[in-house]
Each structure stands twice: as structure tokens, then as C-alpha cells.
């Protein structure tokens, strides 16, 4: 209820096709193979890396994949273009985000639908993989979302999720995942990777804000998008907010 109007307003106010993502990004661990991107995707490298190094933990090729909280659509588009699922559906609560994504990135078996993570408008056991990137902190009931993921996944299906929490809320999230009926296959603290991404993407982020955001909105968007020394950057750097990723199997 709080987030929907914020995202609707942000997307309406920033109609540029150049802005495809709304996450803080990720710098890979040593041992994670460097990601080769097409030149047109280079400016989104850090945001894409948050998706890529989560998605490749499981087989995506030829699978039916759902992204919940697809935002401006860049993540689902990346997965569709590079990892070749049989079908890719992006779902978001913000109708303007869905329209923006469909207008810009929908293609063959990639499309975006409006809907709530807590009442996913899809049939039972219709998906092989559900992915969720930096969105679940906005949900009214995380456990309702997780039960919806369980419902739409086929047996053996994979749930990939990454997001941040206050340290005191992380335990709750962990126990809700543990009680989801799905098996937790991997859990990793990636807070440092996200902080490094904010550090390394600073110049690019600031120059894009200058180029694509109206002047009156630049300072709010700088804070929202997590530039260096924004509250979110400081909190993660000081470990007052932790960013994790998980892989679960139904
Ligand atoms: C921080 S953005 C991340 C978007 C995208 N995953 C990315 O990384 O670019 C969070 C998104 O979650 C969406 N969202 C928030 N609450 C939702 C809900 N209950 N159901 C579906 N989407 C929701 C918002 O509209 C927004 O687009």
C-alpha cells in the first residue's frame, strides 16, 4: 500500500528506456566467472550481475520462469535474452511498470503482467523457477508471498530470492523460508558485494541521474537509488542492513 504509489509515480516520472533496473547491483565473488555482456548492456552491468549470479545457480534454459517484482523489466529481459528460458513472465504490482516493460521489452515468450506477490494470478504448479530481486521487503506479508511461490512452483521447482533486511528482521525471514515447505539449498550474505557495487557504479549512476532525471527529482532519486553516502549505502556498509540471497527447492 505504501510502495505502490511510490513506484507508480517514479515510473511515470522517469519514462526513459535507458532506465531498466531498480536495484543496488552486485560485484561477483572471486571464483564467479566474469560476465560477458553486449555493449548495449554494459551500463547496467552491476544491476544485471545481481540477477545473473543468482539465476545461474539453477538451470534456466527451456524452463518456465516467473519473476515477481519485475519493476522496469530489465531483469526479466536479461534472463530471457541471455539464459534462454522457454517462457519468461515478469509480474509487478505497479501497473505503470508493467506497461513500461511490455512497451519496451516484451518479445515472443517474454511478457509482463500486473499482480500482487501475495496473490499471484497464475495457476498452481505452472512454473519451474521463480526469481525475486530486491522486492520482498515491500510486501505486506512475506509468508503469504512464500506460500504463493510454493503454490505456483512445480514439484522440484526452484525459488531464487535476494533482498535486504534489518538484522533483527533477517531471523524472521530465515524462519519463514525454513517453514515454507521448500528445502533451503543455499544461503549467502552478499552485503559486501552489494556495497562494492554501489562504490564501483557511482560515477555511472550519477551521470545517468543527471541525464535522465528531471532536476527537481534528482536528489530524491539519488537517495532512492543508493548513491555513495546515501542512507542505504551507509547502513549496508555499517552492517545495519544486510543483503542476502537464497536458493530453495520445492
Ligand atoms: C526495488 S524495485 C526492484 C525491481 C526489479 N526487481 C529490479 O531489480 O530492477 C521493487 C519492485 O517490487 C514491486 N513490488 C512491490 N510490492 C509488490 C507486490 N506486493 N507484488 C508485486 N510487486 C511488488 C515494486 O512495484 C517495484 O517494481
Whole-number Å distance between alpha carbons of 126 and 239: 38
Within a 13 Å sphere around the CA of 143, how many CA atoms are in the beta-carbon half? 8
Q: What is the pLDDT of residue 6?
A: 86
- Ligand 1, CB within 6 Å, residue ranges: 3, 7, 21-23, 68-71, 74-75, 92-94, 97, 116-118, 133-135, 138-139
Q: Are 105 and 81 in contact (CB under 8 A)?
A: no
Share of the chain above pLDDT 70, in %: 100
Give, for ligand 1, the residue of 76, 93, 120 to mutate: max count of ligand atoms closer than 8 Å to Cβ: 93
Mean pLDDT of 228-234: 97
Model pTM? 0.97
User: pLDDT tens across 85-120, in order?
Assistant: 999 999 999 999 999 999 999 999 999 999 999 999
Radius of gyration for the alpha carbons in the chain, expressed in angstroms and rounded: 17
Domains, the chain: 3-249 (3.40.50.150)
**Residue closest by Cα to atom 4 of ligand 1:** 71
Model confidence band, residue 7 (pLDDT cutoffs 50, 70, 90)? confident
Q: What is the pLDDT of residue 2?
A: 75
Q: What is the pLDDT of residue 22?
A: 96
User: pLDDT tens across 178-225, in order?
Assistant: 999 999 999 999 999 999 999 999 999 999 999 999 999 999 999 999
Q: What is the pLDDT of residue 8?
A: 87
CA 94 / ligand 1 centre spacing (Å): 8
CA 11 / ligand 1 centre spacing (Å): 12
Atom of ligand 1 nearest to the CA of 20: 9
**Residue closest by Cα to atom 3 of ligand 1:** 22
Model confidence band, residue 11 (pLDDT cutoffs 50, 70, 90)? confident
Amino acid at each position: 500500500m505504501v510502495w505502490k504509489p511510490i513506484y507508480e509515480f517514479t515510473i511515470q516520472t522517469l519514462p526513459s528506456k535507458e532506465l531498466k533496473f531498480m536495484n543496488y547491483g552486485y560485484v561477483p565473488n572471486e571464483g564467479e566467472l566474469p560476465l560477458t555482456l553486449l555493449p548495449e548492456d554494459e551500463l547496467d552491468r552491476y544491476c544485471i550481475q545481481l540477477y545473473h549470479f543468482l539465476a545461474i545457480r539453477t538451470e534456466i534454459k527451456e524452463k518456465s520462469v516467473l519473476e515477481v517484482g519485475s519493476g522496469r523489466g530489465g531483469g526479466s529481459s536479461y534472463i530471457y535474452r541471455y539464459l534462454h528460458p522457454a517462457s519468461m513472465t515478469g509480474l509487478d504490482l505497479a501497473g505503470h511498470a508493467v506497461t513500461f516493460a511490455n512497451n519496451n521489452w516484451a518479445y515472443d515468450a517474454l511478457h509482463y503482467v500486473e499482480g500482487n506477490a501475495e496473490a499471484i494470478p497464475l495457476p498452481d504448479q505452472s512454473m519451474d523457477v521463480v526469481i525475486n530481486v530486491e522486492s520482498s521487503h515491500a510486501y505486506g506479508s512475506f509468508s503469504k508471498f512464500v506460500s504463493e511461490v510454493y503454490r505456483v512452483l512445480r514439484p522440484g521447482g526452484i525459488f531464487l530470492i535476494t533482498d535486504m533486511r534489518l538484522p533483527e528482521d533477517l531471523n524472521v525471514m530465515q524462519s519463514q523460508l525454513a517453514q515454507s515447505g521448500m528445502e533451503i539449498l543455499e544461503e549467502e550474505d552478499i552485503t559486501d558485494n552489494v556495497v562494492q557495487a554501489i562504490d564501483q557504479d557511482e560515477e555511472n549512476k550519477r551521470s545517468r541521474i543527471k541525464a535522465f532525471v528531471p532536476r527537481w527529482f534528482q536528489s530524491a532519486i539519488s537517495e532512492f537509488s543508493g548513491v555513495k553516502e546515501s542512507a542505504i549505502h551507509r547502513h549496508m556498509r555499517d552492517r545495519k542492513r544486510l543483503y542476502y540471497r537464497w536458493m530453495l527447492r520445492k
